[in-house]
Amino acid sequence: MSDPIRLLGAPTSAVGGRAAVVQTARTPTGDVVGSSLTPLQDLSGTITPADLHFERHHAGVPAIDPAHHTLLIHGLVDRPTSFSVDDIKRFPRVTRIHFIECSGNGELAFRGGVFGTPNPGLTPQRVAGLTGNSEWTGVTLRVLLEEVGAKPDGTWLLAEGGDACLLARSIPIAKAMDDTLVVWAQNGEPIRPEQGFPLRLLLPGWEGSTNVKWLRRIELGTRPWMTRWETATYTDPLLDGTARQFAFEMDARSIITSPAHPETITSGWREITGLAWTGRGKITRVEISTDAGHTWSNARLQEPVLSKAHVRFTQMWQWDGHETILMSRATDETGYVQPTRAELIRIRGPGTLYHWNPIYGWKVAANGRVFFHGAT
């Protein structure tokens, strides 16, 4: 059997691919109304490869020809304007690293399921995979709104996408003028079709559905439009008989991505690692417990810690071979601390919807097998 490093290797190639043994993938449902989850456990660092970034669609992925696609901005503006994709790329560009997260992230892990506690067979992907972190390039919406002469009495805007359901969400003008971007590139290349090619809206830290893909229209008005996606869905029923509307900001969350299910580990030293993020700015601390929550200590945060972006946390751990539960707990710059699942249920109710961000645990059995522990 010849040594492979003594054989002349493969030639240069036009588009690279992963090594054959690296089998990583999203989890497509095969539906036009559906999602596919980021394989969090397979990733290192903080950047999600674009082809592994989660999807959530309400009418499938449209095939848009950028040569004919336009973004119309109208309503309470001095000059209703239609921009081609090339026009948008001529504006001053900015590049920022931000996460996107669906407000439905974590539903399975929150629900009790058949046994009354969350399914121990969940992987990090299945627990919290409706999120990804990318470098985005585009123009600030502020520059575009100034270009068309947004009138001062415009207080809300409707952002509409070019998918088959013309998904549309109402956005307050303050966010539009703050850090909202109209982006065309992700991780250095044009956004992929499933991420909104050729243009999407990026609202740093805000729930995924506001980051309208295949962006084709923005209308300025004086009140929200109350579309399906901010009334029938993306509203959060609470215990007191109300439903929270326009719950835009994603609360702080962390998840250990290793050790995690379905790993089997051996005793001795290894690093506990995971990701943390918050829609309210920067993560300031991630604590780890290796004794089922009895004691906590600070993990290291990989620099730079960026605002409204995933941060990688790590802590060296020497496993003694006894059964235990590993947990992580994020704190953000507002002083918010990630709650346990029990706290979240107590505050919002077992039937609440969206913004499920409880502390997640991983039980390490004496034989080294790791299982999801959701009942924190």
Partner 1 sequence: MVASAIAAACRGAKEPGREPSRHYGLGHTASVAEIAERDIDAGPDGAGLPAGNGTVAQGGTIFTQKCASCHGANGEGRPPMYPALVGRDPSAENFVFGRNPNLKRTIGNYWPYATTVFDYVRRAMPQTAPGSLTNDELYAVTAYLLAANQVIPTDASLDAHSLAAVKMPYVTRFVPDNRRGGPEVK
**CB-side neighbour CA atoms (13 Å) of 29:** 14
Give φ, ψ of 114 to 5 degrees. Answer: -65, -35
Residue 223 within binding range of partner 1, rule CB under 8 A: yes
CB under 8 Å to 314, separation ≥6 — which residues? 271, 272, 273, 299, 300, 302
Q: Which of 47, 143, 177, 375 binds partner 1 (CB under 8 A)?
A: 143
Angle at 360 between CA 337 and CA 108, to 5 degrees: 115
- Name which of 236, 248, 246, 252 is nearest 349 in CA terms: 236
Measured from the CB atom, the residue of 24 and 70 that comes closer to partner 1 is: 70
The answer to whether residue 276 forms part of the interface with partner 1 (CB under 8 A) is no
Q: Is 263 in the site for partner 1 (CB under 8 A)?
A: no
Are 218 and 88 contacting, i.e. CB atoms less than 8 angstroms apart? no
Residue 328-367 contact track with partner 1, rule CB under 8 A, x = bound: ----x-xxxx-x---xx--xxxxxxx--------------
Cα 341 vs. chain centroid, distance in angstroms? 20
Contact segment (CB under 8 A) with partner 1 among 6-14, 41-49, 243-251, 291-299 equals 243-251
Q: Binding residue for partner 1 (CB under 8 A) from 57, 175, 200, 217?
A: 217
Q: Using CB under 8 A, count the residues that bind partner 1.
A: 74
Instruction: State in angstroms the smallest separation of the CB of 256 from partner 1.
Output: 21
**Taking the chain, what is the end-to-end CA distance rounded to the nearest angstrom?**
53
Task: Give min distance, CB of 351 to partner 1, in A.
Answer: 4
Return the residues of window 39-98 that contact partner 1 according to CB under 8 A: 58-59, 72, 74, 79-84, 87, 90-92, 94
Q: By CB under 8 A, tell whether 18 contacts partner 1.
A: no
Please say which residue, 25 or 59, places its beta carbon nearer to partner 1: 59
From candidates 154, 237, 293, 368, binder to partner 1 by CB under 8 A: 237
Count Cβ atoms below 10 Å from residue 292 Cβ, excluding itself: 15
Among 280, 300, 363, 369, binds partner 1 (CB under 8 A): 280
Among 37, 52, 247, 364, binds partner 1 (CB under 8 A): 247
Residue of 196, 186, 169 lying closest to 61 (CA atoms): 196
- For the bound state, the minimum distance from the C-beta of residue 370 to partner 1, rounded and expressed in Å, comes to 27
Interatomic CA distance for residues 86 and 192, integer angstroms:
17
Q: What are 373's strand-pairing partners? A: 361
Q: Are strands 268-277 and 253-258 parallel, antiparallel or unpaired?
A: antiparallel
How far from 68 is each of 65, 83, 88, 232, CA to CA, in Å? 6, 10, 13, 33
Asked if residues 180 and 210 have their Cβ atoms less than 8 Å apart, the reply is no
Shortest separation between residue 359's beta carbon and partner 1, angstroms: 12
Can you say whether the dihedral through the CA atoms of 178, 182, 188, 192 is positive or negative?
positive
Nearer to partner 1, 18 or 228 (CB): 228
Q: Scanning residues 152 to 211, which ones bind partner 1 (CB under 8 A)?
A: 158, 160, 164-166, 168
Residue closer to partner 1, measured from CB, 310 or 348: 348
Considering the rule CB under 8 A, would residue 231 count as an interface residue with partner 1?
Answer: yes
Taking CB under 8 A as the criterion, the residue among 6, 232, 269, 318 binding partner 1 is 232
